[in-house]
C-alpha cells in the first residue's frame, strides 16, 4: 500500500483541505460509538410522551435537610475502540498507534486557484539566431601591439644636444637679465634717491655730464638762426635771448643763450620740478594740506592773495595755481614747504643750473631772480626725457603747463592743430615765455624766448610772436615733397607780415 503524504506537508494540506469536514464527521462518529453514555442528552428528549417518569432521569430531590450524603461519582472505564471498517477509512488517513499524539486542529485555509507555472524558456543560442540578430561582444579583446621606439640615428644626436643646450642657455640668460634688472636702480629711483641730497657730489657730476652740449645737442640750425637774427634786427632797443631744441634730433638754435636774464615768473618752472621730485621721493603728498600764512601773501598776479590767512589748500592745487594763474602767494607757500630758498638753490646746482638762482620771494619786481635761455631749455628737455622726475610726474607737469591762462606770446605763433605746455614771465624790464610745442606733423621742439626791454616796451610781445611763428614754420613744414601744382597755404610769418604791411 503506498504511503500517503504527511499531514503537515503543505502540498498535501492543499490537496486535502476540501475533505477536512469528512474527517471531522468520522471523528465524531467514532467518539459516539465508543462512549454512548457519556453523551449528554437534552432534557426535552428524555421526557416520556405519556407523562410518566423516565427511567433515565434521576429521582426527585428532597429538601436540603433530608438529602443523603453525596457520594463521589464513579468513573466508568471507556469502552474498547472498535476497528473502523476499511471501506469507511479515509484514503489519505495514516494509521496511528494508541500512544501517538492527538492530531492538531486544522488551520483555516483559503482556497486559491491553481495556475500553471510558466516554464522558463531557454535563451536562444546564437547558433539558432539569424546572423543579423547575433551581436558582437561589447568589448573585444585585441592583442596589444607593443610600440617599438625607434632609435635616433647616431648622426643626429649631436645636433639634438646642441639644440637642447641652446634652449637652456636662452632660459638662463632671460632669468639672469631679469635678476640684474631688479638689482640695477632705474633712473627714476636714482633721481628719487638724489632728491634727499644723500650723494650731492655724484649727483652733480651725473647731471653735469647729461647737460654737456656734446651729449644733449645735435647740429646747429644755421638757416633758422640767421632768419631769427634778421628779424631781431628789425626791433632796435630789444635784446632777445633764444634757445630752440629739437627733442628728437637735438638740433638747436642759440641766440644769447648764455646771457643771464631776469627770470620773472619763469623761475616757477624749476620750483615745480622740485615739487614733483619731492612727491616722487615721498616727502610731499599731492593731497597734503598747506596752510596760507600772512608772510605768504604777495601782490601781483594770482587770486589767493584775497583769501584770509589760515586757509588750507591741497598741495597739488597750490602748484596748479602757481603755474596756470602765475599766483605769487602759491609760489611762496611752495618755497617754504620745499625747504626755503637756500635748499632750492642747492637743488638747482645739483641739476647743473649754474645761473638759475632764486634770491627773493615773489613778486620779484626788481628782477633779482635770474636764469638763462639755455638752462631753461635744457631743464625742459630733461623733464621731457623723464630724467629728473618720474614719467607720471612729468605727465602731470605738462598737463598743468598746458592750462596756462596767458596765451599771448608763444601760442600766437602756432598754427592750427598745434599744442603747447608753457610758462610765461612778465616784468617791466623783461618779457619771457618757455615751453614745449607739438606740431601737427609729429615734431616736438622746445622754445625759450626772453626779451630784455626798456620800461615795458610792447614791441617785445610782437617780437616773441614773430619768432615763435618763424620757428613753428620751420618745424611744421611738410615732411614729404608736394607737386608744384598743389597750392600751399601761407605760413604764419607771411600772414603776420601781410598784416603789418596792411597797417
**What average pLDDT does this structure show over 94-122?**
53
* 351, pLDDT greater than 80: yes
Closest CA to 418 of 432, 426, 407, 405: 407
* 499, pLDDT greater than 90: no
Question: Is 202 contained in some domain?
Answer: yes
Each residue of 458-495: b (16+ CB within 10 Å) or e?
Answer: eebbbbbbbbbbbbbbbbbeeeeeeeeeeeeeebbbee
Quote the number of domains for the chain.
1
* 123, pLDDT greater than 50: yes
Beta bridge partners of 239: 452
Report the pLDDT value the prediction gives residue 113, as an integer from 0 to 100: 53
Question: Is 337 contained in some domain?
Answer: yes
- Tens of pLDDT, residue by residue over 144-169, are 555 555 666 777 777 777 888 887 88
**pTM passes above 0.75:** no
> What backbone torsions phi and psi does residue 465 show, to the nearest 5 degrees?
-65, -45
3-state class of 24 per DSSP?
Answer: helix
Confidence of residue 1 (pLDDT cuts 50, 70, 90): very low
- Tens of pLDDT, residue by residue over 36-56, are 555 555 544 445 554 444 445
CA distance 493 to 497: 6
Question: Is 331 contained in some domain?
Answer: yes
* 4, pLDDT greater than 60: no
Question: Is 503 contained in some domain?
Answer: no
Confidence of residue 206 (pLDDT cuts 50, 70, 90): very low
| CATH number of domain containing 199 | 3.40.710.10
> Which residues fall within 8 angstroms of residue 4, CB to CB, at 6 or more apart?
12, 91, 92, 93, 94
Of 110-119, 279-288, 334-343, 357-366, the range with the lowest mean pLDDT is: 110-119
- Tens of pLDDT, residue by residue over 64-78, are 545 556 566 656 666
Considering 124-128, 133-137, 191-195, 335-339, the range whose residues carry the highest mean pLDDT is 335-339
Question: Is 105 contained in some domain?
Answer: no
Report the pLDDT value the prediction gives residue 90, as an integer from 0 to 100: 60
**301 burial class (0-12, 13-18, 19+ CB within 10 angstroms)?**
buried
Closest CA to 299 of 365, 252, 201, 370: 365
* 194, pLDDT greater than 60: no
Percentage of the chain surpassing pLDDT 70? Answer: 60
Question: Is 346 contained in some domain?
Answer: yes
Question: Is 475 contained in some domain?
Answer: no
Q: Give residue 200's domain range.
A: 194-408
Residue 366 vs residue 198, higher pLDDT: 366
CA distance 246 to 444: 6
Contact 412, 466 (CB under 8 A): no
Residue 325 vs residue 191, higher pLDDT: 325
- Tens of pLDDT, residue by residue over 391-429, are 999 999 999 999 999 999 999 999 999 999 999 999 999
Confidence of residue 324 (pLDDT cuts 50, 70, 90): very high
- Tens of pLDDT, residue by residue over 361-393, are 988 888 899 999 999 999 999 988 888 999 999
Report the pLDDT value the prediction gives residue 501, as an integer from 0 to 100: 58
Taking residue 242's Cβ as centre, other Cβ atoms within 10 Å add up to 25
**What average pLDDT does this structure show over 110-131?**
53
Question: Is 381 contained in some domain?
Answer: yes
Report the pLDDT value the prediction gives residue 395, as an integer from 0 to 100: 93
Residue 446 vs residue 123, higher pLDDT: 446
**216 burial class (0-12, 13-18, 19+ CB within 10 angstroms)?**
middle
* 112, pLDDT greater than 80: no
Amino acid at each position: 500500500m503506498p504511503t500517503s503524504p504527511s499531514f503537515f506537508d503543505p502540498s498535501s494540506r492543499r490537496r486535502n483541505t476540501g475533505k477536512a469536514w469528512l474527517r471531522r464527521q468520522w471523528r465524531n462518529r467514532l467518539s459516539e460509538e465508543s462512549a454512548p453514555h457519556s453523551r449528554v442528552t437534552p432534557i426535552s428528549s428524555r421526557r416520556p410522551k405519556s407523562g410518566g417518569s423516565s427511567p433515565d432521569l434521576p429521582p426527585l430531590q428532597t429538601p436540603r435537610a433530608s438529602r443523603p450524603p453525596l457520594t463521589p461519582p464513579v468513573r466508568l472505564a471507556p469502552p474498547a475502540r472498535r476497528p473502523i471498517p476499511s471501506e469507511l477509512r479515509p484514503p489519505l488517513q495514516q494509521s496511528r498507534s494508541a500512544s501517538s499524539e492527538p492530531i492538531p486542529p486544522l488551520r483555516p485555509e483559503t482556497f486559491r486557484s491553481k495556475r500553471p507555472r510558466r516554464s522558463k524558456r531557454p535563451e536562444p543560442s546564437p547558433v539558432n539566431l539569424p546572423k543579423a540578430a547575433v551581436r558582437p561582444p561589447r568589448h573585444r579583446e585585441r592583442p596589444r601591439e607593443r610600440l617599438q621606439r625607434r632609435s635616433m640615428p647616431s648622426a643626429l644626436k649631436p645636433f639634438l644636444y646642441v639644440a637642447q643646450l641652446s634652449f637652456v642657455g636662452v632660459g638662463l640668460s632671460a632669468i639672469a637679465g631679469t635678476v640684474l634688472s631688479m638689482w640695477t636702480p632705474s633712473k627714476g629711483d636714482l633721481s628719487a634717491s638724489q632728491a634727499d641730497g644723500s650723494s650731492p657730489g655724484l649727483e652733480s657730476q651725473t647731471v653735469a655730464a647729461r647737460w654737456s652740449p656734446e651729449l644733449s645737442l645735435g647740429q646747429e640750425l644755421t638757416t633758422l638762426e640767421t632768419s631769427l637774427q634778421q628779424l631781431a634786427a628789425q626791433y632796435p632797443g630789444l635784446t632777445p635771448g633764444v634757445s630752440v631744441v629739437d627733442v628728437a634730433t637735438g638740433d638747436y638754435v642759440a641766440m644769447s643763450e648764455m646771457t643771464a636774464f631776469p627770470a620773472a615768473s619763469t623761475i616757477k618752472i624749476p620750483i615745480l620740478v622740485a615739487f614733483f621730485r619731492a612727491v616722487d621721493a615721498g616727502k610731499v603728498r599731492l593731497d597734503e594740506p598747506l596752510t596760507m600764512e600772512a608772510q605768504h601773501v604777495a601782490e601781483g598776479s594770482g587770486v589767493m592773495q584775497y583769501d584770509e590767512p589760515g586757509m588750507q589748500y591741497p598741495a597739488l592745487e597750490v602748484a596748479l595755481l602757481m603755474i596756470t594763474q602765475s599766483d605769487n602767494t602759491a609760489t611762496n607757500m611752495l618755497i617754504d614747504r620745499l625747504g626755503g630758498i637756500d635748499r632750492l638753490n642747492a637743488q638747482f646746482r645739483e641739476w647743473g643750473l649754474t645761473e638759475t638762482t632764486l634770491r627773493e620771494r615773489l613778486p620779484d619786481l626788481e628782477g633779482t631772480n635770474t636764469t638763462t635761455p639755455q638752462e631753461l631749455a635744457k631743464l625742459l628737455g630733461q623733464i621731457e626725457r623723464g630724467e629728473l622726475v618720474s614719467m607720471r610726474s612729468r605727465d602731470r607737469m605738462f598737463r598743468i603747463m598746458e592750462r596756462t591762462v596767458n596765451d599771448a606770446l608763444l601760442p600766437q605763433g602756432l598754427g592750427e592743430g598745434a599744442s603747447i605746455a608753457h610758462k610765461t614771465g612778465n616784468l617791466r624790464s623783461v618779457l619771457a615765455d618757455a615751453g614745449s610745442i607739438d606740431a601737427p606733423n609729429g615734431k616736438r621742439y622746445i622754445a625759450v624766448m626772453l626779451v630784455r626791454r626798456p620800461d615795458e616796451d610792447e614791441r617785445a610781445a610782437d617780437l616773441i610772436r614773430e619768432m615763435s611763428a618763424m620757428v613753428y614754420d620751420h618745424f611744421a613744414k611738410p615732411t614729404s615733397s608736394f607737386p608744384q601744382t598743389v597750392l600751399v597755404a601761407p605760413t604764419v610769418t607771411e600772414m603776420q607780415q601781410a598784416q603789418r604791411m596792411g597797417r
